[in-house]
Structure 1
Amino acid sequence: MELTVYLAGEIHSSWRDEVKEKVRSLKLPISFVGPMENHDRSDSIGEEILGKQPNAVLRDETASSFNNLRTSVLMQKSDIVIALFGEKYKQWNTAMDASTALSLGKPLILIRPEQLHHPLKELSSKANVTVETVNQAIKALSYIFDTE
């Protein structure tokens, strides 16, 4: 059995690389998908496809439509969603992706530091599992494959 995991969360740090490396080291049969990690391309994809937009609002709206298409397709094809809430960046996209996963009935592993417990308490109570670290999320994934 191979699983596909959607990695939702901020695209500014290397947390996805950490997850992928640790899963590879454990030889777990998992492949990963997620949002466009090239921030500039994510912001400009609307103009890349539709051409120059007349203002910043339309530039953002066109990019959002293509990014939402990508998220929708890849998340629907995933078996599990891991949503990481960090402390450094605004986490609106992470909240949206975690909520989307729940509405699609996708199992959700929520990673959030203890200090974000209160603002994420409702989302956390709906997630299948809430952990505080990437390592704990990897252990949760690994447990799926344990036979004894």
Structure 2
Amino acid sequence: MELTVYLAGQIHDDWRKTLKAKASDQNLPIHFVGPMENHNRSDNIGEEILGEQPNAIYKDEVASQMNNLRTRVLMVKSDIVIALFGEKYKQWNSAADAASAIAWNKPLILIRPKELHHPLKELSEKAQVTVETVDQALQALSYIFDEN
């Protein structure tokens, strides 16, 4: 059995790369997908497809449409969603992705530091698992494959 895992959440560090490498080291049969990690491409994809927009608001809106299409297709095809909330940045994308996973009935692993317990308590209650670290999320994933 191979799982497809959508890696949602903050984009300001290399947590995805770390998780993928550790899963590979453990030979876990997991295929990872997620949002466009090339920030410039993500911001400009609407204009790449639809042409130059009249202002920054329209540019953001058409980029958002393309990114939402990508997210929906990849998340709907996923078996599990992992959404990471970091300590440092506003996490609007993480919240939207976690809410989408819940709405689309996808099992959700929520990663959030202890400091974000209170603001994320409702999402934590809807997630199947809430952990504090990427390593704990990987342990939860690897448990799925544990035959003992």
Normalised-by-shorter TM-score class: over 0.9
Q: Which amino acid aligns with 1:135?
A: D
Q: Which residue pairs with 2:12 in the alignment?
A: 12
Q: Which amino acid aligns with 1:69?
A: L
Q: Secondary structure at the match of 1:4?
A: strand
Counterpart-to-counterpart distance in 1, 2:134 and 2:62: 33
Counterpart-to-counterpart distance in 2, 1:36 and 1:96: 15
Across the two proteins, how many residue pairs are aligned to each other?
A: 148
Q: Which amino acid aligns with 2:74?
A: L
Q: Secondary structure at the match of 2:36?
A: coil
Q: Which residue pairs with 1:40 in the alignment?
A: 40
Q: Which residue pairs with 2:70 in the alignment?
A: 70
Q: Which residue pairs with 2:115 in the alignment?
A: 115
Q: Which residue pairs with 1:129 in the alignment?
A: 129
Q: Secondary structure at the match of 1:95?
A: helix
Q: Which amino acid aligns with 2:32?
A: F
Counterpart-to-counterpart distance in 2, 1:15 and 1:84: 9
Shift of 1:117: 0.1
Shift of 1:40: 0.8
Shift of 1:88: 1.4
Counterpart-to-counterpart distance in 2, 1:103 and 1:43: 26
For residues 6-65 of structure 1, the C-alpha deviation after alignment (integer angstroms, 9 at most, x for no partner) is 000112210000100000000000000000001111000000111110000000000000
Q: Secondary structure at the match of 1:93?
A: helix
Q: Which residue pairs with 1:22 in the alignment?
A: 22
Instruction: Compute the TM-score of the two structures, normalised by the length of structure 2.
Output: 0.99
- Aligned-residue Cα RMSD (Å) equals 0.5
Q: Which residue pairs with 2:146 in the alignment?
A: 146
Counterpart-to-counterpart distance in 2, 1:54 and 1:39: 21
> Structure 1 stretches of 5 or more lacking a match?
none
